[in-house]
Amino acid sequence: MNTLRIGLISVSDRAANGIYQDLGLPLLEEWLGQALVSPFEIEKRLVPDEQPMIEQAICDLVDERFCHLVLTTGGTGPARRDVTPDATLAVADREMPGFGEQMRQISLNFVPTAILSRQVAVIRKQSLVINLPGQPKSIKETLEGLKDEEGNSQVAGIFASVPYCIQLLEGPYIETNPQIVVAFRPKSARRETNI
């Protein structure tokens, strides 16, 4: 069976230079461990806010490590050093604008400055690359979406669409934990699994 390979990139000058501990990578690892039922492997990178280094990290994870999914965190705002979306678009084959639109829509429920985010998602070769926010709370919210007090989904998180996207890119079939996120697929794309 084809094991899902996920690349995680945290983009931060201060964390890359050891000034403070990176929080994005541990949170993403923990969240994926809870959200995914299918087996997966993770490759991690911690890079400063330097466009060539971000581009290199994405290309390495896609081209050399054959990651099906690459998630970046950090560097998506309007500040001069925020170049993660620029690096992502520079190495993209195709853009997937719906992911960025949905992430901003979710974040607008919490902060009006969500419109300042430049997060993008792209396809490079057969891989999906998504820029997530830098704040751990925002990362979780954009992945899972908004739920009411009973746990019912009010606004879909972006991860609901990730398994089907990877399936369309001829990657592995991904099962999720419905308590965390329900993967959406049309009926014709669903498989019976023994997981």
Give the pLDDT confidence of 21-51 residue by residue, as tens digits: 888 999 999 999 999 999 999 999 999 999 9
With bands split at pLDDT 50, 70 and 90, how would you rate the model's confidence at 53?
A: very high
Binning the chain into helix, strand and coil, the percentages to the nearest 5 are 40, 20, 40
Structure confidence at residue 80 (pLDDT):
95
Q: Do 5 and 43 contact (CB within 8 A), yes or no?
A: yes
Structure confidence at residue 122 (pLDDT):
98
Task: Look at residue 97 and tell me whether its pLDDT is greater than 70.
Answer: yes
Task: Look at residue 72 and tell me whether its pLDDT is greater than 80.
Answer: yes
Structure confidence at residue 150 (pLDDT):
81
CA-wise closest residue to 37 among 167, 163, 168: 163
CA-wise closest residue to 43 among 64, 18, 19, 22: 64
Alpha carbons 38 and 27: distance in angstroms, whole number: 19
Q: With H, G, I as helix, E, B as strand and everything else as coil, classify residue 86.
A: helix
Q: What percent of the chain has pLDDT over 70?
A: 98
CATH 1.20.120.80 assigned to domain 4-187? The reply is no
The pTM of this model reads: 0.94
Domain extent listing, the chain: 4-187
With bands split at pLDDT 50, 70 and 90, how would you rate the model's confidence at 1?
A: low
